[in-house]
């Protein structure tokens, strides 16, 4: 436990380094000499084979074996190797339920990309995720440095990256004033969209390099960003306007903490961020699907009214929202059911179509849903892409 605790506070630079790169680094009093490769399993970064009671760090020459074994079945038929899926925000709600569903299937190793190591470790254990089926790697989407550091760290794990799920989100419906990420972006759009935008752009290279037969990049969307629905018409409605706030850096200067340049509204900022998520998925599809064969998808998993997403809402809302969704709108789904849905988008052979926004009907059957006019506006998607590139330092 002590080891795991310590790893959560490990400077990212130490969490895993490539051969030869670790220079005389001290950790828990153990020094690692030049030229030795860290076995990330013994850093607790990868729970597989970690003996939590052991504090010894083994410095060894062998590499961490990626979960790539493709044993031939008795019939001599090759089975699909274990896939590796990165899931952001896997410490609770939909992300955790999806991680659990994938891990329990035995077909996936999950990289849980989370900002709170201890919370995630406890959540994974409490959810009963099989040991060795997941690795926790620190990621704070409210910092572009952290995103870049995360990308470096997962690359050092020597695991292929076959699927990436951009799931984490914050929702600040009661905030009167905007708050900002480390890079000075309004928090909801900064975390939900811009952090994921950089992450997805970086990990695209890793997806391209993977030999997995069905590689996917999934960005979680929502009904509330789609004004072609009843839920999307509950005020405040999503509206990116002419993107003037995004263009000016989303930093609150000149009252431009909102994408459309209007006064700050936390609920709207969240819905706007979801529109960006859905536009980004489609722009990825247009730019990269043909060339790479990667499936790009988004989804509305149903109304998971009990998750941590509503932690900042008023207590009355948190009390009434679940029964309202269960008995009145009938849009409610449990975390478990929503996790199964997202796991389908990760793994189902029938859901390989790219550029799709998936939803499920009342019988839990998936279907290709229609996005609102704004959330399917190709010109806006291109502009959001280009402005986001500038903000995250890719252009
Ligand atoms: C707003 O506040 C903020 O003002 C805004 O800034 C922003 O943050 C926004 O989108 C976020 O939130 C939210 C506030 C107003 O909502 C609440 O606090 C509570 C809303 C919870 C949902 C409504 C519950 C209503 C019914 C509860 C019943 C539960 C029990 C069911 C048990 C059934 C058993 C069989 O949010 C608003 O948007 C208010 C909009 C005004 C609409 C008010 C009318 C509600 C009508 C709902 C339809 C259902 C009607 C039928 C009632 C049947 C009763 C059985
Ligand atoms: P939760 O609050 O349960 O999960 C959100 C996750 O995001 C948590 O793991 C949280 O981490 C993580 N997170 C927040 N900020 C950061 C950050 N700066 N860096 C890294 N991770 C961060 O909410 P849900 O499970 O409901 O939300 C998951 C996704 O589902 C979101 O994309 C949301 O928009 C979407 N969605 C949800 C719906 C619902 O009804 N709940 C409906 C439609 C879509 P931590 O645990 O540390 O706080
Ligand atoms: Mg909404 C079919 C109706 C439906 C569905 C599926 C949702 C989903 N909501 C519906 C209807 C209504 N909602 C109605 C009629 C109202 C007025 C009472 C209403 C209100 C409401 C509020 C105040 N709903 C909300 C809020 C929130 O704060 C949530 C939000 O907008 O977060 C951005 C929310 C949601 N309703 C949903 C879903 C899925 C949410 C969670 C938001 C999300 O993750 O996108």
Q: State ipTM.
A: 0.86
Nearest C-alpha to atom 18 of ligand 1 is from which residue? 317
Residue 74 neighbours by CB under 8 Å, 6+ apart: none
Instruction: Determine the Cα–Cα distance for residues 395 and 291; give it in Å rounded to an integer.
Output: 21
Q: Is 270 a catalytic residue?
A: yes
226 within ligand 3 shell (Cβ under 6 A): no
Instruction: Put residue 24 in one of left, alpha, beta given phi > 0 → left and psi -120 to 50 → alpha.
Output: left
**Residue 298: C-alpha distances to residues 53, 161, 190, 359 (Å):** 41, 19, 19, 9
Instruction: Determine the Cα–Cα distance for residues 343 and 11; give it in Å rounded to an integer.
Output: 31
Q: How far is the CA of 103 from the centre of ligand 2 (A)?
A: 19
| Substitution site in 262, 317, 325 for ligand 1 pocket (most atoms within 8 Å of beta carbon) | 317
89 within ligand 2 shell (Cβ under 6 A): yes
Report yes or no: 163 and 346 within 8 Å, Cβ to Cβ.
yes
181: its two tokens? 């990420």
The residues with which 217 forms a beta bridge, in sequence order, are 164, 296
223 within ligand 3 shell (Cβ under 6 A): yes
349: its two tokens? 């052979």
Which atom of ligand 1 is found nearest the CA of 313? 8
* 3-state SS record for the chain: CHHHHHHHCCCHHHHCCCCCCCCCEEECCEEECCCCEECHHHHCCECCCCCCCCCCCCEECCCCCCCCCCCECCCCCECCCCEEEEEECCCCHHHHHHHHHHHHHCCEEEEEEECCHHHHHHHHHHCCCCCCCEEEEECCCCCHHHHHHHHHHHHHCCCCCCEEEECCCCCCCCCCCCCECCCCCEHHHHHHHHHHHHHHHHHHHHHHHCCCCCCEEEEECCHHHCCCCCHHHCCCCCCCCCCHHHHCCCCCHHHCCCCCCCCCCHHHHHHHHHHHHHHHHHHHHHHHHHHHCCEEEEECCCECCCCHHHCCCCHHHHHHHHHHHHHHHCCECCHHHHHHHHHHHHHCHHHCCCCEEEEECCCCCEEECCCCCHHHCHHHHHHHHHHHHHHCCCC
> pTM for this structure?
0.84
Ligand nearest to the CA of 174: 1
Nearest C-alpha to atom 15 of ligand 3 is from which residue? 231
User: What pLDDT does 42 receive?
Assistant: 32
User: What pLDDT does 284 receive?
Assistant: 98
389 within ligand 2 shell (Cβ under 6 A): no
**Residue 321: C-alpha distances to residues 172, 236, 306 (Å):** 16, 17, 8
**Residue 77: C-alpha distances to residues 73, 80, 290, 349 (Å):** 5, 10, 29, 18
115 within ligand 2 shell (Cβ under 6 A): yes
Ligand nearest to the CA of 235: 1
List the catalytic residue out of 117, 134, 171, 270. Answer: 270
141 within ligand 2 shell (Cβ under 6 A): yes
User: What pLDDT does 80 receive?
Assistant: 87
**Residue 274: C-alpha distances to residues 196, 230, 258, 259 (Å):** 11, 16, 13, 12
Residues of the chain whose pLDDT is less than 70?
Answer: 1-78, 254-255
């Amino acid at each position: 436990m002590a080891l795991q605790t310590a790893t959560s506070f490990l400077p990212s630079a130490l969490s895993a380094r490539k051969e030869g790169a670790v220079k005389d680094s001290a950790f828990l009093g153990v020094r690692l000499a030049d030229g030795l490769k860290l076995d990330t399993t013994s850093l607790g970064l990868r729970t597989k084979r970690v003996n939590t009671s052991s504090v010894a760090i083994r410095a060894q020459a062998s590499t961490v074996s990626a979960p790539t074994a493709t044993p031939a079945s008795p019939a001599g038929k090759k089975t699909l190797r274990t896939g590796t899926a990165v899931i952001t925000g896997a410490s609770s709600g939909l992300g955790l339920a999806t991680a659990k569903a994938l891990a329990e299937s035995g077909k996936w190793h999950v990289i849980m990309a989370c900002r709170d190591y201890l919370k995630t470790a406890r959540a994974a254990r409490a959810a009963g995720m099989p040991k060795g089926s997941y690795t926790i790697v620190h990621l704070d989407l409210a910092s572009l440095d952290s995103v870049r550091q995360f990308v470096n760290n997962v690359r050092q794990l020597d695991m292929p990256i076959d699927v990436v799920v951009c799931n984490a989100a914050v929702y600040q419906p009661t905030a009167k004033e905007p708050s900002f990420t480390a890079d000075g972006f309004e928090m909801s759009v900064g975390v939900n969209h811009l952090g994921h935008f950089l992450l997805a752009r970086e990990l695209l290279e890793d997806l391209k390099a993977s030999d997995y037969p069905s590689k996917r990049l999934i960005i979680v969307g929502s009904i509330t960003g789609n004004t072609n629905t009843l839920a999307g018409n509950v005020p405040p409605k999503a509206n990116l306007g002419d993107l003037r706030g995004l263009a000016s850096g989303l930093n609150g200067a000149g009252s431009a903490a909102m994408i459309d340049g209007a006064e700050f509204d936390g609920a709207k900022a969240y819905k706007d961020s979801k529109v960006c998520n859905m536009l980004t998925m489609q722009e990825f599809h247009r730019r990269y699907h043909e060339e790479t064969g990667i499936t790009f998808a988004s989804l509305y998993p149903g109304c998971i009214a009990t998750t941590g997403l509503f932690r900042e809402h008023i207590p009355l809302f948190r009390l009434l929202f679940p029964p309202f969704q269960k008995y009145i709108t009938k849009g409610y789904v449990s975390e478990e059911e929503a996790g199964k849905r997202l796991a389908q988008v990760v793994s189902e052979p029938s859901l390989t179509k790219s550029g799709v926004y998936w939803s499920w009907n009342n019988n839990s059957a998936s279907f290709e849903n229609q996005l609102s006019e704004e959330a399917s506006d190709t010109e806006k998607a291109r502009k959001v892409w280009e402005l986001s590139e500038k903000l995250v330092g890719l252009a």
